[in-house]
Amino acid sequence: MRVGVQYRGTVGAGATQRVFTFNWAASQHIIWYVTPTTPRPGAPQLDWDTQVERASTDRITYWIIVRNLTGSAVDYELRYAVLS
Amino acid sequence: MAGDVGIRERLVLVESTAQAEAVGSAAAEVDAHVLHQYGDSVLVVAVDEEADEALAERLPGDSEPILAESVGADVRRALDETGALGVAALKHRASEKYAATKAARPRAGDLWDVDEEGTPGCALLTPDDLSSPGAAEAAEAAALPTSQRLSGSVAVGLVMVEGPTAALRFSAAERTTVVAETQNGLTWLGGRHPSTPITWRWDIDIIRLTVAANAPAADNETRFRDPALDALGFGPGHAGARAYAESLRTQLRTDWAYVAFITKYPVNHFAYAFFGGPHLVMDYANDGWGPANIDRVFAHETGHIFNAPDEYSSSGCNCGGAFGYYGKPNANCQSCATGGGVDCIMRANTWAMCSHTPWHLGFPMCPSRLGVQFRGSVPAGSTRRWFTHSWPADCHVEWTVVPTTVRVGAPQISWDVHAERASTGYVTFWISIKNLTSVPVDIEARYAVLGST
């Protein structure tokens, strides 16, 4: 197993952002998650969903939708774990 | 085994920066790790004996893990000064003489303030201890920290400052001792990580000044530090040391950097560090502890560079406060911890680390593990939200929820996870769980810590 950060970005106040990352081996089991890097204690800041596209027989593109639940911009990391 | 720190170390010699990076990748594949890099060519790798062959198969070019004593004189002569000292240091640490020195280590186990009159503990300074910083220095203070936490890779600028007289110079053997001791200390310190190893990348300079030991100066440090920084191409004072550390961070491509001045010039105190960096100062004689304890004093002072507080009573410590990347209290302080605290490098002359210092140092605290964080019940057709706080921010955590109430034939629950950055070092997770059925469902929320970045 290995973990990493695929992307760092900012999502505006109350906004939704969609990012994609391509050319991942279809044979790998991968999970995606998002972590805010802008401290703002007291309430959740980000929600996310993952969608998947089979780009070819052996390659996958992941689309990650990041929603800012707050009234100000939030910096974030898009993280992954390759489980196998 | 080199030194007395229980880690099997081997040399790997490479021909380029690209090859050095390839060694790092190869080592990771076989659970080995690059502990030290000296110059462009010399790597010290922690590797178990059974992984030697697998590592050799993966190394670039003709590289292989070797003993320092097998490096021929012609190869040593071709190395730059930093690389040659790194090889000599590892060779010295593997010698019987070094092992004997460590076995007879003076004052082993003593508290750092055991003899406050004769060998008071190290001094701990902040930039406020410096006199009247100028505008440029004040601006520098707001820059990106050079040693916010002990993680990833660290550049170490080791500066041996010599003077114009024999008493102020290092012999070749003493230079090797300095590099061996600091290598031993950081091999041990970096090896205390709970989950992610540290790589130390060294730049070693030997600066010979013409300044007399009693030349007029604002203080003992200024007398040799500023001329040494000038010789390295940097300005004076705290700002100059920080600029040098920043330059090393860029040049050696590391996450963090600091500077260590080791000298025979008179010093303000035999060993001290500026809390949070960028530099430390040590006297070669190392007061009553002696050169054979440079390794532990160096590891202790490096702890200060990475924000770990003293734990011995005369430091004035107490069990409160908020130290380091995670803002943890100094709970092993000798003055107030139960029984005077436990053995720890920040407390005594020992190869031990208490459970609090890793948090102060800011090690990634994410050993992979699974668990159940909480159990609860969700009423029929409703959604309940829980939060769980104080997860180290660099932990990769995956959340799942499973029902524990048996009901066959249809899905019972769904869940959604939201994240909150509660502070620089911590994340709070908010987990909303929806009951899709018409009866209450008991659940358990499970986590998987997958690693850290």
What is the per-residue pLDDT for B1? 80
- Nearest by CB to residue B424, choosing from A39, A44, A81, is A39
Contact residues on chain A for B423, CB-CB shorter than 8 A: 39, 41
Mutate to test the interface with A, among B370, B421, B424 (most CBs of A within 10 A): B421
Q: Is the pTM of this model over 0.95?
A: no
Phi-psi region of B377 (alpha: psi -120 to 50; beta: other; left: phi over 0): beta
CB A80 within 8 A of CB A3: yes
Ordered by where they begin, the domains of chain A are 2-82 (2.60.120)
* Sheet bearing B279-283, strands edge to edge: B9-13, B42-46, B33-38, B199-208, B153-162, B256-263, B279-283, B271-274, B123-125
> Within 13 A of A32's CA, how many CA atoms are on the CB side?
21
Task: Tell me if chain B has a CB within 8 Å of the CB of A68.
Answer: no
Better-scored residue on pLDDT, B453 or B39: B39
Q: What is the pLDDT of residues B81-115, one digit of tens each?
A: 999 999 999 999 999 999 999 999 999 999 998 86
What is the per-residue pLDDT for B200? 98
CB B421 within 8 A of CB A36: yes
What is the per-residue pLDDT for B213? 97
What is the per-residue pLDDT for B123? 63
Contact B421 A44 (CB under 8 A): no
The secondary structure element, H or E, covering residue B133 is none
Residue B264: pLDDT above 50? yes
Can you tell me the distance from the alpha carbon of B324 to that of B361, in angstroms, rounded to the nearest whole number? 6
What is the per-residue pLDDT for A84? 73
What is the per-residue pLDDT for B195? 78
What is the per-residue pLDDT for B134? 35
What is the per-residue pLDDT for B444? 95
Among residues of chain B, what percentage have pLDDT more than 70?
94
Contact residues on chain A for B421, CB-CB shorter than 8 A: 35-41, 45, 74
Q: What is the pLDDT of residues A13-62, one digit of tens each?
A: 999 999 999 999 888 899 999 999 999 999 999 999 999 999 898 999 99
What is the per-residue pLDDT for B283? 97
DSSP for residue B132 = -
Q: How confident is the model at residue B176 (pLDDT cuts 50, 70, 90)?
A: very high
What is the per-residue pLDDT for B130? 40
What is the per-residue pLDDT for B424? 87
Mean pLDDT for chain B overall: 91
Beta bridge partners of residue B10, listed in sequence order: B45
Q: What is the CA radius of gyration of chain A?
A: 14
Cα B331–Cα B335–Cα B336 angle in degrees, nearest 5: 50
Q: What is the pLDDT of residues B31-49, one digit of tens each?
A: 899 999 999 999 999 999 9
- Nearest by CB to residue A36, choosing from B397, B421, B450, is B421
Can you tell me the distance from the alpha carbon of B259 to that of B273, in angstroms, rounded to the nearest whole number? 10
**Are β-strands B395-403 and B256-263 bridged in parallel, bridged antiparallel, or unpaired?**
unpaired
Instruction: Measure B192 CA to nearest chain A CA, in Å.
Output: 21
Can you tell me the distance from the alpha carbon of B121 to that of B114, in angstroms, rounded to the nearest whole number? 8
Q: What is the pLDDT of residues B305-363, one digit of tens each?
A: 999 999 999 999 999 999 998 899 999 999 999 999 999 999 999 999 999 999 999 99
Phi-psi region of A49 (alpha: psi -120 to 50; beta: other; left: phi over 0): beta
Q: What is the pLDDT of residues B106-165, one digit of tens each?
A: 999 999 988 655 555 666 666 543 433 333 333 334 467 999 999 999 999 999 999 999
Instruction: Measure B53 CA to nearest chain A CA, in Å.
Output: 23
What is the per-residue pLDDT for B210? 98
What is the per-residue pLDDT for B142? 47
CB pairs under 8 A between A and B: 68
Sign of CA dihedral B137, B143, B147, B148: positive
Residue B167: pLDDT above 70? yes
Beta bridge partners of residue B48, listed in sequence order: none
> Within 13 A of B398's CA, how many CA atoms are on the CB side?
16
Contact B453 A47 (CB under 8 A): no
* Sheet bearing B369-378, strands edge to edge: B369-378, B441-452, B395-403
What is the per-residue pLDDT for B219? 95
Interface ipTM: 0.88
Q: What is the pLDDT of residues B371-423, one digit of tens each?
A: 999 999 999 999 999 999 999 998 999 999 999 999 999 999 999 999 999 99
Phi, psi of B223 (to 5 degrees): -55, -40
Q: What is the pLDDT of residues B209-247, one digit of tens each?
A: 999 999 999 999 999 999 999 999 999 999 999 999 999
Neighbour tally for B185: CB within 10 Å: 24
CB B287 within 8 A of CB B114: no
Query: Residues B57-80: what's their mean pLDDT?
Result: 86
What is the per-residue pLDDT for B440? 97
